[in-house]
Structure 1
């Protein structure tokens, strides 16, 4: 069994990855077409095949995007999972050059009290959210694991109104020990999220100047410790812009292969953030690897082909237009009306009510999508998409390899689509503006007719009517 002090096989080998990418550039058209044919059968791709697609000629892009859309439609339908981040502490002892929370940066740091956590949750659920990603800097003195556990308990215990509770808390905190991951598992963590930032070790050490996060291999093997502790849903990501984006995408696929080979299940989600401006961070001089829009879309589409049953997440770092394009490329989850600083939701409430701006609030990064949750929900529905706040799989034990087995058999969509319609009905009834409510229920009625199994369709219809009548909430298959 993996322990905190045993080093496992170094499955990320930079020289090998670079050589694979160099060789992939010579792949003939016939090889590219065969890889795209394989992906279209929902078989996933090996890292060697991924390299070929990453280096292929742009003439193949129309087919790449067509296959990415067909995979997404077949496996996920027209559902888009919604979430919001919650920052609870910006204390951090790391010196990460790209981050506003760098230990060297001087600003008024804060940690939410449990009462403040409750206040933030009430604001988050007032937007309709049912799942969050808890975020915190790394500081064992000012933000120990016991504080994170207390926050989780507070979040799950907070009931704002009839349907106003958080039903799934994903956690994005620093790499830690098997013991601490076990504690997170006991309290009821959803997915454990950790961004590798960059898989290229020399670049990693260049941007992580000091602090425990500087230990590249301890960070890279965090998911091994989490899975050893029984957390079978893990979510990965890199910060696109630190190193060659094609290298990063390929390394992420290799990391996924390592987890599948070792533990029988890979990433539950993959996040694809591009580096953004932040307080104290100058992007103009030292970040030449930020992918342009076309390269970025290509990477997202290739990832959709590579890991067809893995959720792909996009945040408010991207513009509304880019978020639309990335939905077409294979993104299945997105944040809405995010606050990216500690106490940000209550600060925004005060700004709306009094015009007062909190001068001490420090955001981790600059957002590009400032729309309200209701505006984003209305936009998604205008695109024929179904916003979903469903957490049924997590609470029904359909996680890890059990989720993947259902997904690969095609059975998961038989419950996910009706569950999405039930959570959308909750949103429409409890939080939507009148205009969005009218549009939304017309969408729900149309989508109910598309539920393939008559048993599920009729149960979903009854549940939607019960929600609309105000009799009950939190119904799912």
Structure 2
């Protein structure tokens, strides 16, 4: 595609008036001076204050910037151990002993952007470009369904060929493709920031959560790392999820790519993003927060030489602070991380992981890892079955549940239940049911042996005899061949 055509497309996509309405007196919500002053004012917090903040978080109350800054500045390892424990307690109190699992499905790697850390950047000649046709997409989905997947995050390069109409068509294919007992019941989307009217199209097709990650909230760093393309417009991206909420896509996901700028600043940016969404949309903020670390990518030296690379210990700390800062929100731990890191960090409060992941275009059908068709290099290459077995050994049920979305428990409804710490009363019964489906239809003998006991354990922990009896009856129906039963 010619540069003029790309530039014209970018001009047509961006609608400044859909950003200006959300500014605060002409300024965006990311006040860098506020962040820096808040971090500076909360250096060397004492033990009593940290423990007071932890106690507030356990009450499922979102923290203020000063409180989050105090946690970020904590230097006491004993207190960090207390925070790790609190993160797990909060997660289990809100979401139960379950881990939601999904697969990333990369649809296209054509991209107009020049992100210096990304293998998909438009100048990268080492990246082999591919966009799935609808028949190819159907085969990819069949390959995923055959492994047991029920939930996807569908990922698109930012390019005219991946416009809203292409995305809508791929969503229709995702929902209509069946394979044996299997099907996709929830398709989330990670794509270019869209205008309100385009987001309404995706809403009507049945989009799940809409993800747009700011990557870095630091204005100057953002412009340096995103010099050209649609992504060069900081504000269009920053308010992408405000527009989604306005369009009625009421489950949205925010995220930062750690390694681009100072990790403490980025955690504060995620908090300010959450606060602004909640203030403008009646207390409803992000459905999920993601915190990927930058990983190596083909022909992309910046990814390995950034001065802001986050080590494993710091990564665990920043994930913990996010959990304490926004205690009721889902948190996604991706397969960018190694299995070792994920098995450790999941215990500080994560709620979702991808598993059996392949981020090459067409990679599931080919069953290969083609690095020249990947955005970056994955750290965890376990199969879905292996990941589920490991989670079971850690005491977690793997959930493929999508009942909340299909019952209308999204946006304000979901958040209202989650903030009261009661969403697990609905989600754990449904997790048990989807877990049983997986064990019957897809699990290896080894995984079935390691995981079966969890169903009886979680049945015993259900909140009432009535719910328990209902789930037991549904389990019997699943044993008889029925599928997709939920509360």
Which bracket does the TM-score occupy, shorter chain normalised? over 0.9
Residue of structure 1 aligned with 2:309, choices 263, 269, 290: 290
TM-superposed deviation, 1:284 = 6.8
* CA displacement at 1:29 relative to structure 2: 3.0
Q: TM-score, normalised by structure 1?
A: 0.95
Q: Kindly report which structure 2 residues correspond to 1:130-279, keeping only aligned pairs within 5 A, or say none.
A: 130-140=150-160, 142-162=161-181, 164-264=182-282, 265-279=284-298
SS at match of 1:3: helix
Select 1:308's aligned residue among 313, 327, 330: 327
The range that moved more, 264-273 or 103-112, is: 103-112
* 1:435 matches 2:454: no
Contact 2:397 2:435 in 1 (8 A): yes
1:387 is aligned to 398
Q: Would the alpha carbon gap of residues 203 and 385 (structure 1) be closer, same or farther in structure 2, given more than 3 Å must change?
A: same
Question: Equivalent residue for 1:410?
Answer: 421
Partner-residue secondary structure (3-state), 1:88: strand
Q: How many residues align?
A: 466
Gaps of 5+ in 1: 349-356
2:476 corresponds, among 453, 461, 465, to 465
Contact 2:219 2:234 in 1 (8 A): yes
Does the aligned pair in 1 maintain the 2:188–2:209 contact within 8 Å? yes
What whole-Å deviation, never above 9, does each CA across 1:120-145 have from its counterpart, x for those lacking one? 111111121111000010111x2221
Q: Which of the residues 82, 106, 109 maps onto 2:129?
A: 109
**Residue aligning to 2:50:** 32
1:66 aligns with 2:66: no
Q: Is the 8 A contact 1:2 1:225 kept in 2?
A: no
Gaps of 5+ in 2: 1-15
- Flag the 1:375–1:359 CA change in 2: closer, same or farther, 3 A: closer
Question: Residue 26 and residue 91 in structure 1: after superposition, are their counterparts in 2 closer, same or farther (change >3 A)?
Answer: same
Q: Cα distance 1:230–1:288, how it changes in 2: closer, same or farther (>3 A)?
A: same
Deviation at 1:406, TM superposition (A): 1.4
Residue 361 and residue 465 in structure 1: after superposition, are their counterparts in 2 closer, same or farther (change >3 A)? farther
| 1:258 Cα deviation after fit | 0.3
Cα-to-partner distance string for 1:326-371 (whole Å, 9 max, x where unaligned)? 11111110000111121110121xxxxxxxx686851111011111
Task: Evaluate the alpha carbon distance shift between residue 137 and residue 70 of structure 1 in structure 2; reply closer, same or farther with a 3 A threshold.
Answer: same
1:165 to partner: Cα distance: 0.6
Give the Å deviation of 1:33.
2.2
CA positional deviation for 1:58:
2.6
Distance 1:4 1:203, change over 3 A: closer
Cα distance in structure 2, aligned partners of 1:57 and 1:25 = 9
* Corresponding position of 2:118: 99
Distance 2:112 2:118 in 1: 12
- Name the TM-score, length of structure 2 as normaliser: 0.93
User: Whole-Å Cα distance in 1 between the matches of residues 233 and 414 of structure 2?
Assistant: 32
2:339 maps to 320
SS at match of 1:180: helix
Q: Specify the alignment match of 1:54 in structure 2.
A: 72
CA contact (8 A) 2:152 2:188 kept: yes
Q: Structure 1 residues 450 and 38, CA, compared in 2 at 3 Å: closer, same or farther?
A: same
The alignment's C-alpha RMSD in Å is: 1.6
In the alignment, structure 1 residue 8 sits paired with structure 2 residue 8: no
Any idea what SS the aligned residue of 1:85 has?
strand
Which residue of structure 1 lines up, in the alignment, with residue 361 of structure 2? 342
Cα distance in 2, alignment partners of residues 320 and 360 from structure 1: 19
Query: Matched residues in 1 for 2:104 and 2:466: separation?
Result: 36
Q: CA contact under 8 A between 1:415 and 1:456: conserved in structure 2?
A: no
Does the 8 Å CA contact 1:274/1:317 hold for their aligned counterparts?
A: yes
